[in-house]
Amino acid sequence: MKILIVGAGAIGGYFGGRLLEKGEDVTFLVRDRRKEELETTGLKIESANGDCILNPKLITKNSEPEAYDVVLLSTKSYQLAGAIEDVRSFVGDETMVLPLLNGISHIDQLVEAFGEQSVIGGLCFVEATLGENGTIVQTSPLNQLVYGERSGEQSDRIERLKQSFESTKAEFILSDNINQEMWHKYLFITTMSGITTLFEEPIGPIRELESGQRTITALLNELEEVMKKFGAPIEHGISNKLLEKINSLGEGMKSSMQRDAEKSQPIEADHLQGYLLERAKDLEVAVPVLETVYTKLKLYEKGVNN
């Protein structure tokens, strides 16, 4: 399968790198600065699951148009509109578009751009960041990419994709309920990123405090309530399961939003917390913890933009 990864950042570089390392036909669509960097250093991954240096095929938006079998989208949400335009000439009628972004509203954006049929579902669990010279640094062993048809169908194309994704050093998991899994990840990450960026600490010290534990629980419950009223396909009582998950993460685990804030970079506040805050307003659900988190994130963004 011809695989195109859009963005050689933390997650695109990580999962694309693992596929390339296994010997899959992987190409990265990059912008000029990153292209130059990768041509100089190679694609370097430093990881608890094994380091590697790879020399990937690179294209830019101006390269010769050709259709790929699958396009993995791994930009930030605020870069997605640009990425959609840049990747258009590499998406054909048969191309599967697989987004790995956190959040949910990008699915509508992609369906509008490429059509209902082209877009499959995806998410990932990996703690990765771009280090010095663009090295991909994975800071804990978790490395799961979950994907599937949004209809849940075990189609021929998804079976072909499964074969391509098998036997890498990362865990590629085919799901028959990816819609629900994306919403669950959205609930998890909106809490995890909100709480860790609010308190500027990894999850361990926050959850150890009784007040920290109550704040995490309150945010999970608020978000679950909004999602339920919105009609999202979430499992009954999912907050309890997600609280267990948050309590079982490594002590030092941080969110990617928190790492971006530490580097004074833009964050995905509107795509993650803001979207649910808007839904809460429409549905008249009280969300005081979400509002506190969102206010902190907006104040941070104001500081970065000034």
Ligand X SMILES: CC(C)(CO)C(=O)C(=O)O
Ligand Y SMILES: NC(=O)C1=CN([C@@H]2O[C@H](COP(=O)(O)OP(=O)(O)OC[C@H]3O[C@@H](n4cnc5c(N)ncnc54)[C@H](OP(=O)(O)O)[C@@H]3O)[C@@H](O)[C@H]2O)C=CC1
Q: Kindly identify the residues of this chain, within the stretch 55-74, that bind ligand Y according to CB under 6 A.
A: 74
> Considering the rule CB under 6 A, would residue 101 count as an interface residue with ligand Y?
yes
Q: Which of ligand X, ligand Y, none binds 192 (CB below 5-8 Å, type-dependent)?
A: ligand X
**Which residues does 284 contact at the CB level (< 8 Å), separation at least 6?**
none
* Nearest distance, CB of residue 17 and ligand Y, angstroms: 12
Which residue stretch of 24-32, 50-58, 143-151, 237-245 sits at the interface with ligand Y (rule: CB under 6 A)? 24-32
Contact between 273 and ligand X by CB under 6 A: the answer reads no
Among the candidate windows 50-58, 105-113, 123-131, 235-243, which touches ligand X by CB under 6 A? 123-131
Reported for 167-170, long-range contacts at CB under 8 A and 24+ positions apart, including other chains, are 167/22, 168/18, 168/19, 168/21, 168/22, 169/18, 169/21, 169/22, 169/49, 169/50, 169/143, 170/14, 170/15, 170/18, 170/49, 170/126, 170/143, 170/144, 170/145
Q: How far is CA 217 from CA 146, 167, 183, 261, 293, in A?
A: 25, 37, 17, 23, 14
Catalytic residue among 185, 229, 245, 302: 185
Closest distance to ligand X from the beta carbon of 250 (Å) = 10
Q: In this chain, which of 6, 126, 238, 293 binds ligand X, going by CB under 6 A?
A: 126
Please say if 185 is a catalytic residue: yes
160: closest CA among 96, 208, 245?
96
Number of chain positions touching ligand Y (CB under 6 A) = 31
Stretch that binds ligand Y, among 17-25, 27-35, 245-253, 280-288 (CB under 6 A): 27-35
Q: What is d(CA 194, CA 172) in angstroms, rounded to the nearest whole number?
A: 27
CA distances 202 to 126, 195, 197, 253, Å, are: 15, 9, 9, 5
Cα separation of 120 and 14, whole Å?
Answer: 20
Residue 76 lies near ligand Y (rule: CB under 6 A): yes
What is the pattern of x (binds ligand Y, CB under 6 A) and - over residues 115-154?
A: ---------x-xxxxx------------------------
> From the CA atom positions of the chain, what is the Rg in Å?
19
Tokens linked to 175 = 């799901």
Q: Cβ closer to ligand X: 97 or 187?
A: 187
C-alpha to C-alpha distance for 257 and 269, rounded to whole angstroms: 8
* CA–CA dist 26, 4 (Å, integer): 6
> Is residue 7 close enough to count as binding ligand Y by CB under 6 A?
yes
Q: Which of 95/190 has CB closer to ligand X? A: 190
Q: Which of 80, 255, 287, 296 binds ligand X (CB under 6 A)?
A: 255
Letters for 199-238 (x = contact with ligand X by CB under 6 A, - = none) are ----------------------------------------
Q: Which stretch binds ligand Y (CB under 6 A): 2-10, 165-173, 210-218, 239-247?
A: 2-10
Q: Which of 55, 4, 64, 7 is nearest to 31 (CA)?
A: 7
Element (H, E) at 26: strand 25-29
The site for ligand Y (CB under 6 A) is made up of 6-12, 29-31, 33-34, 74-77, 79, 82-83, 86, 100-102, 124, 126-130, 256, 268
Q: Kindly list the catalytic residues.
A: 185
The site for ligand X (CB under 6 A) is made up of 102, 125-127, 189, 192, 255-256
